[in-house]
Chain A
Amino acid sequence: MELKNFTLYKHSAAIIILMLLLCFNVLAQTSTLSGIVTDKQGQPLPGVTVLLKGSTLGSTTASDGSYSIPSPRALTPNEVIVFSFIGFQTVEVPFKGNTTINIQLVEDDKMLDEVVVTALGIKREEKSLGYAAQSLNNKAVKDAPATNWVSSLHGKVAGLNLIGTNSGPVGSTRINLRGESSLNLDNNQALIVVDGVPISNRITGTGRGAHLAADSPVDFGSSVSDLNPNDIETVTVLKGPGATALYGSRAANGALIITTKSGQQKDRGLGITYSTDISFDRVLRWPDFQFEYGEGRTDTYFSYLDSEDGPNTATNVAAGRAFGPKFNGQMYYQYNPNSPDGKPTERTEWKPNEDYISGFFRTGLTTSHNLSLDGSTEKSSARLSLTHLKNEWIMPNTGFERLSASLSLNHQISEKLKISSRVNYTNKQSDNLPLSGYNNQTIMYFMIIGTTPNIDIDWYRNYWQTGLENVQQRNPFNPGPDNPYLQVYEMLNKMTKHGVIGNISATYDFSPALSLMVRSGIDLAQEGRSQQRPYSMTKYPKGMFRQQNVFNYEINTDALLSYKSKLTPDIDFSVAAGANHMTQKYDFAGIYADQLAMPGVYMVSNSLDQAVADPNQWQKQINSVYASSQLSYQDKIFLDLTGRNDWSSTLPAANNSFFYPSVSTSFVLNELMALPQSFSFAKVRFSWAQVGNDTRPYQTERYYDKIYSNSFTNPGTLYNAGLKPEITSSFETGLDIRLLKNRLGLDLSVYKNNSRNQILEIPLDNTSGYNRALMNAGLISSSGVEVLLNGKPVQTPTFKWNSTLTWYRNRSYVKELAPGIDNQIIANHNSNVSIEARVGGRMGDMYGRGFQRSPEGEIIYTTGGVPAELDPTLKKWGNAFADWKAGITNEFTYKNFRLSILFDGQYGGDVYSQTNHKLNTLGKTKVTLPGREGGIVGDGVVRQPDGSFVPNLTNVTALKYYDEYYKITNAETNIFDASFIKLRETRFEYNLPLSLISRIALKRASVALYGRDLLLFTKFPAYDPEAAMLNNGTITPGIEMAQFPSTRTMGVNVTVQF
């Protein structure tokens, strides 16, 4: 059916062009062009823009549809005249010498019949869909490119929640659609499909946690983050299970369907496009640092090592605190950069270094070059694209390089057989990616606790002690955090990755009605990594060297049979049935030398002890059969039915087969009933779907875990031999209205998802022998609203203004957990704050302790004048997820200029900030200034022995007060509202006039300036409210664990097309 329409339009366009060609006589010398523009019925069309392409020469039709363009020069043959009018298809007519061009415009319902790539790569007309699907074109990921293209989707899709980690140059992002449906954070990401084949968004972790683990996580990225935005043609977001039921298990949380570019068939011949981006990154925002007080726990003096002024206040546990004396230009014994041990010989002036933190960071530089060739013949089309990207990140000696090559081939072998193939190859390489999180060996830990405003960052540049190079680091102040320059120049985390995403497919048309498509696709990556740690690190006194080889792939093979026919003249019918075979394999081989025999020699062979092997392999298979059918009545009512049965290797034999159906329908109201004239289009849609899900491999039997590399132990989680599949069912309804000849469009969706039978680990009393047991339990219910509003407030021949607004709100509630359990911890930061699912609560609720309060609500203080021990009862202090998110894009086109501006933001949502907690307790921020002179009497009450309360009158030092007030266990004072508005993207583009560039054989040339994240408005106290914690390979929202600063990017793009 969609094919029929498609050919129809193609035909009508061809006929018009043919007619026009016939009308023209060859060659003419007159310099005035005129004619009449009419519609299909022959009625004159006023207001049509007639423009000489690539020039400003043009005019508009009068009320009788006539126009005339006086040209100061003679038109040359093959110059193009463009007829455009809102609501009609734009027609381009080459000048053939005839000065009179009469033309008939055809109404443009292309927008209504926009083709959307849905599950399994099936193309569907948008109006036939019974579920929400939002499409974005290449511009969306290219206008203001990010090193991880996923970040470019911010603010553009209603219902899409991206959570970045700020964990380094790769910028991994958690992709979630329509809220959290599973109690397992890793299960809530959307499925990413490239050219019909699922790929992985999994970050292979380092096995390390973010908070003070033996080592720290590195963000190495994933197959998804390595996709090259230059090769992306469209991204279709299928938001709910209704849209994705055919993908089965993994699409329960929606899917991003990516179609990569292929050779263009329309203008035959060779197309060459070259584009380059150069962008600069600066730190976007700093916490509100204070530069008034220097290092110490006492404001009476400062002394580097012991001196006549008093004991050392700079290099022991007191170090790193900025509760020292005020900078008044007084003279103290301070660090002496000119002596090897830093020992001062004379007093120097006590003054702040305002760049004591910022001085470490540099301007990041990302350069990218893309060359693409495409072309087609009658039977084949091909596209080849090469991209090189190099990123030098804002931290010295960090960044990565990526080379992408992409090839797309389509060939019609015979009338009935068509084959096509796409291959994307990525080579990503880094000499050093930074360690993220809060730990002795992370940069941000150093920035938080290692340094104070009286320190010059340059004092750290020589990071070895003289004569002890490679053996003993120099750490002149707080000895806890490792020297930051040692970190970036010696503690290297290297990687080289080869990734291939590709597919081959063949389609055989048995008859016009029946065809078979067979496709096999792979996402394969081989990644070599190493981590080296020098001698004298806190966590690795004898250094360390680790190597990992990570090899993983997923292969999907599909066979899809489609048949379509007309049941009656009014009813179109199509049916498709297929089968899928999916194999995932993961092979991780680590070899570790956790103490080195010789310093500075980073080889496994240099292991002091026997090097240790750490293998981890797993595999998984899912076999599926599926079928779908579509019925349409007069192109006005559509009905889709799908069913899929999966057999998963991860579930016990008795429960490994599961079936799930979906039904969706849409009604084109403007064709079914009389609507006011202003309605160009109106559609209502309903869908209901179920999706089943399996689990990780090896959960159904008892295994022993390897421990300490040479022994075995019982795992903490009790296996379950009777697991059942998880089931998510969803209901969605939506309304799609376009008004005033498509100048205003509204797409509204409302949905409700229920996820039950979740496979989750319930907590056990560990005296039973296990900490957790694997169970099917729980019910999470999500509901939400999504709004997509399009407007074209101004549309004149030279000036156009398009505006798009996205807004959505989701609520996921915990309805049930396992019997007898009313609370399940989803994520935990050392019991200081935890994200808990509590029956009746919202997903993402954050619990922790807060102040003890009197019946009147006042903070209770001890007789010592500090807040009393925290109330032991855990209370809810916030929620990790936003109340709503919105984005607004405005695009202005004036002649050859285009300006696009995207603001986006969120309202609500909370983040526990480890950065802010620690900066405050250490006196680094302005909020800790009050009370520095004369102390603080905390606002609250003191409990009397008889139980009554009297106001607190005890004065304590600022150090004592803030240390207690903001202490790590106090969730009340360390959780912050993460609402924000960002000027997310701007692009100002100039397309060089065709008249100019055609002389040098260019088809298109443009220059653009762009910016990402230029402005941030928020009350969040740390670097960026878009924060999460990278914990091993899991991105945990709601907790910020020593985030890196986020960046403001400004760049320039040049594109030329031959």
Chain B
Amino acid sequence: MAISIRKFYLLVLTLGFISSSCTKDFEEINTDPNRPKEIYPGAILGQLQYKFVNTSIGGARNFTHEVMQVSAPRSSTNNGLHRYHVTESAGSGLWTNFYDYMTDVNDLFTISERLQENNYKAIALLYKSWAYSILTDTFGNIPYSQATQATTGNFTPAFDKQQDIYVQILKDLETANSLLDDTKALTYGGDLVYNANTLGNGRSEGILKWKKFVNSLRLRLLLRLSKRDGEIQVSEQINQILVDPATFPTFSSNADDAIFRYPGTYPFFNPYYNARTLDWREGTYFTEYFINQLNQVEDPRRAVWATQVKVNDANVYQGIKSGYESNLEYVVNKNSSYNDALKTLPQLGIMMSYAELEFIKAELALKGFATGNTPKGHYEKGIAASMAQWGVALPSGFLQKEGVAYEASASNTEQLKQIMLQKYFALFFTDYQAWFEKRRTDLPELPRGSGIPLTNQFPSRIPYPVYLQSLNSENVTAASTVMGGDASTTKVWWEK
């Protein structure tokens, strides 16, 4: 028995030794063979461009179009955006997605900084500025300076004031402009917007286009801050860009459009390519307001955007009311809806168009800035650019048609009305821009539907997503208080 016990202990010791000595491989075993720990900028950029634009055009389709009376639901028994009822969830997709992407934007910036790749760095700054401007214009005060710092332990970022955010955005865009160097292509590729991945004749066309996008975006934002000139040097910055196009180039043709052109091959499909008919066009129709104005001038963009319906054996474009009474329900497929061709249209991925820039310049010219052209000149270029952007020819005589022809002799207010109406059409599918512009200028003048309850007002922002109440309540409460409440009617800083 004694022998047995000794044997037993000896064997136990051997077993114990064998098994505890095997942990030295653990680090290797616990290293993921499929996912890298370090990546290069090219691997982030393309996917980021794709995701960003999918979210932004989704916002156009789901929010802006309904609020701005481009389209309206077929039936709506309760509330609805078209009756100016804005829920907390209306902006949660934008909020969640854009902030999700921001971690990648940060990485793009820091990795390119480490690799001394200024062009990537500038593009990171551009995306950051573009995305945060949309976020702050939608919500007002938002997490900015403390955002995306979870890795350093900050799980509850404080919110920044819109004014402070704009100061930094404008600064970042200026930095981006100076960083962009068109003698270099993007070393690690990945650019799906301007394909600035290669050099041609020692220059990168693409990088130049990024530069144009940076400055065009800066003009968009500066114009948005018109009312706050003085608090921020708005006019001065506009002039800085306008007088020195060599340093601050802006879009000069449709070739410069900041559009993610969906290649239609895996994986970068137009996000609507397999949308169900039910979701795509059987529940939503264009409004009378939108479609009738296009009908009136026989705008050729109609054919790209809208389906036709048969009325008295004639194929026509026909819209429905927005803000209608809740007991109204439109019959299916008897009004124009989104054309199926849009589901696979490459140029649906709009971030900012040359057309928009021309309308910006038209307004600046009207305000007296030296844009190098008249308001009328910019206005007409804007319309032509939008036609080209949607792939239709500008019909001859279109610009002279009643309702289109620019009345240069009219009052500034009347001229602005014309500019803003055409800009509204040109902003079709451009994230929330038409809504932001409406809040800034109160244009175009939208009719008020008879089914909109008297107490409902045109929204000036989207309330914060509900989840913040449980995950970052102190900061969201503070931000609401600073702003004057978390209502959809609270005006953001630049709208005040």
Contact check, A713 vs B77: say whether CB atoms are below 8 A apart.
no
Within 8 Å of chain B (Cβ to Cβ): is A346?
no
Contact check, A767 vs B326: say whether CB atoms are below 8 A apart.
no
Within 8 Å of chain A (Cβ to Cβ): is B195?
no
Across the interface, B32 reaches (CB within 8 A) one of A214, A703, A869, namely A703
Within 8 Å of chain A (Cβ to Cβ): is B47?
yes
Within 8 Å of chain B (Cβ to Cβ): is A656?
yes
Across the interface, A765 reaches (CB within 8 A) one of B18, B331, B472, namely B472
Give the contacts of B93-111 with A (CB-CB under 8 A).
96, 99-100, 102-104, 106-107
- Mask: chain A, 620-653; 1 = CB below 8 Å from B; 0 = not: 1101110100000000000000000001011001
B281 → chain A, closest Cβ, in Å? 9
Complex interface: chain B residues within 8 A of A612 (CB): 266-267
| Contact A708:B268 (CB < 8 A) given known A621-B26, A765-B471 | yes
A969 → chain B, closest Cβ, in Å? 11
CA distance A763 to B472 in the complex (A): 11
The chain B residue sitting closest to A595, CB to CB, is B266
Complex interface: stretch among B141-149, B238-246, B426-434? B141-149
CA distance A697 to B27 in the complex (A): 11
B43 → chain A, closest Cβ, in Å? 5
The chain B residue sitting closest to A822, CB to CB, is B470
Give the contacts of A465-524 with B (CB-CB under 8 A).
479-480, 510-511, 513-514, 516
B338 → chain A, closest Cβ, in Å? 14
Within 8 Å of chain B (Cβ to Cβ): is A716?
yes
Complex interface: stretch among B151-159, B346-354, B395-403? B151-159
Within 8 Å of chain A (Cβ to Cβ): is B300?
no
The chain B residue sitting closest to A514, CB to CB, is B4
The chain B residue sitting closest to A707, CB to CB, is B47
Within 8 Å of chain B (Cβ to Cβ): is A609?
yes
- Mask: chain B, 216-244; 1 = CB below 8 Å from A; 0 = not: 00000000000000000000000000000
How many residues on chain A are close to B (CB under 8 Å)? 92
CA distance A540 to B276 in the complex (A): 11
Complex interface: stretch among B9-17, B249-257, B408-416? B9-17
CA distance A817 to B138 in the complex (A): 34
Complex interface: chain B residues within 8 A of A563 (CB): 4-5, 8
Complex interface: chain B residues within 8 A of A650 (CB): 30
Contact check, A768 vs B155: say whether CB atoms are below 8 A apart.
yes
Give the contacts of A863-918 with B (CB-CB under 8 A).
864, 866, 868-869, 872
Complex interface: stretch among A22-30, A283-291, A573-581, A682-690? A573-581
A369 → chain B, closest Cβ, in Å? 43
| Contact A711:B19 (CB < 8 A) given known A769-B103, A869-B79 | no
Within 8 Å of chain B (Cβ to Cβ): is A948?
no
| Contact A480:B277 (CB < 8 A) given known A595-B265, A770-B150 | yes
Complex interface: chain B residues within 8 A of A540 (CB): 274
Contact check, B8 vs A539: say whether CB atoms are below 8 A apart.
no
Contact check, A713 vs B147: say whether CB atoms are below 8 A apart.
no
Contact check, A764 vs B471: say whether CB atoms are below 8 A apart.
yes
Complex interface: chain A residues within 8 A of B100 (CB): 716, 766, 771
Name, among B5, B26, B148, B282, the residue most crowded by chain A CB atoms within 10 Å (CB to CB): B26
Complex interface: stretch among B33-41, B205-213, B373-381? B33-41
The chain A residue sitting closest to B35, CB to CB, is A703
| Contact A513:B15 (CB < 8 A) given known A705-B35, A708-B267 | no
Contact check, B77 vs A711: say whether CB atoms are below 8 A apart.
no
| Contact A768:B148 (CB < 8 A) given known A538-B276, A698-B30, A703-B36 | yes
Contact check, A317 vs B74: say whether CB atoms are below 8 A apart.
yes
Within 8 Å of chain B (Cβ to Cβ): is A700?
yes
A581 → chain B, closest Cβ, in Å? 6
Complex interface: chain A residues within 8 A of B8 (CB): 514, 561, 563, 575, 577
Within 8 Å of chain A (Cβ to Cβ): is B481?
no
Within 8 Å of chain B (Cβ to Cβ): is A345?
no
CA distance A858 to B376 in the complex (A): 61
Contact check, A866 vs B150: say whether CB atoms are below 8 A apart.
no
The chain B residue sitting closest to A440, CB to CB, is B276
Contact check, B273 vs A769: say whether CB atoms are below 8 A apart.
no
Contact check, A765 vs B157: say whether CB atoms are below 8 A apart.
yes
Complex interface: chain A residues within 8 A of B334 (CB): 311
Within 8 Å of chain A (Cβ to Cβ): is B29?
yes
A664 → chain B, closest Cβ, in Å? 22
Contact check, A580 vs B43: say whether CB atoms are below 8 A apart.
no
The chain B residue sitting closest to A562, CB to CB, is B8
How many residues on chain B are close to A (CB under 8 Å)? 81
Within 8 Å of chain B (Cβ to Cβ): is A1019?
no
CA distance A619 to B30 in the complex (A): 7
Contact check, A608 vs B265: say whether CB atoms are below 8 A apart.
yes
Within 8 Å of chain B (Cβ to Cβ): is A610?
yes
Complex interface: chain A residues within 8 A of B276 (CB): 440, 480, 538
Contact check, B32 vs A698: say whether CB atoms are below 8 A apart.
yes
Complex interface: chain B residues within 8 A of A822 (CB): 470
Contact check, B15 vs A578: say whether CB atoms are below 8 A apart.
yes
The chain B residue sitting closest to A964, CB to CB, is B77
Contact check, A769 vs B147: say whether CB atoms are below 8 A apart.
yes
Contact check, B332 vs A318: say whether CB atoms are below 8 A apart.
yes
Contact check, A656 vs B23: say whether CB atoms are below 8 A apart.
yes
The chain B residue sitting closest to A313, CB to CB, is B332
Complex interface: chain A residues within 8 A of B20 (CB): 623, 625, 647
Within 8 Å of chain A (Cβ to Cβ): is B7?
yes
Within 8 Å of chain A (Cβ to Cβ): is B315?
no
Name, among B3, B12, B39, the residue most crowded by chain A CB atoms within 10 Å (CB to CB): B12
| Contact A510:B34 (CB < 8 A) given known A625-B20, A767-B148, A768-B148 | no
The chain A residue sitting closest to B11, CB to CB, is A561
The chain A residue sitting closest to B16, CB to CB, is A625
Across the interface, A617 reaches (CB within 8 A) one of B16, B34, B46, B267, namely B34
Complex interface: chain A residues within 8 A of B283 (CB): 317
Contact check, A649 vs B149: say whether CB atoms are below 8 A apart.
no
Across the interface, B266 reaches (CB within 8 A) one of A510, A594, A964, namely A594
Within 8 Å of chain B (Cβ to Cβ): is A799?
no
Name, among B27, B31, B32, B44, the residue most crowded by chain A CB atoms within 10 Å (CB to CB): B32
Contact check, B282 vs A317: say whether CB atoms are below 8 A apart.
yes
Across the interface, B27 reaches (CB within 8 A) one of A511, A579, A580, A653, namely A653
Complex interface: chain A residues within 8 A of B265 (CB): 595, 608-610
B213 → chain A, closest Cβ, in Å? 21
| Contact A869:B78 (CB < 8 A) given known A698-B31, A767-B472, A770-B103 | yes
CA distance A329 to B99 in the complex (A): 59
CA distance A357 to B79 in the complex (A): 36
B28 → chain A, closest Cβ, in Å? 9
The chain A residue sitting closest to B22, CB to CB, is A623
Complex interface: chain B residues within 8 A of A615 (CB): 34
Contact check, B43 vs A712: say whether CB atoms are below 8 A apart.
yes
**Nearest 4 interchain pairs by C-beta:** A711-B47, A769-B148, A317-B282, A703-B35
A316-B333, A711-B43 are known; give 8 further A-B pairs, CB within 8 A: A316-B282, A608-B265, A618-B32, A708-B267, A709-B267, A716-B100, A770-B150, A823-B470
B residues near A, CB below 8 A? 1, 3-5, 7-8, 11-12, 15-16, 18-20, 22-23, 25-27, 29-37, 39, 43-44, 46-48, 50, 74, 77-79, 96, 99-100, 102-104, 106-107, 142-143, 147-151, 154-157, 190, 265-268, 273-274, 276-278, 282-283, 326-327, 331-334, 466-468, 470-472
* Chain A to chain B contacts (Cβ below 8 Å), 20 pairs: A316-B332, A317-B332, A480-B278, A513-B4, A538-B277, A541-B273, A563-B5, A579-B18, A579-B19, A594-B266, A623-B20, A649-B26, A702-B37, A704-B39, A765-B143, A767-B148, A768-B147, A769-B147, A864-B78, A960-B77
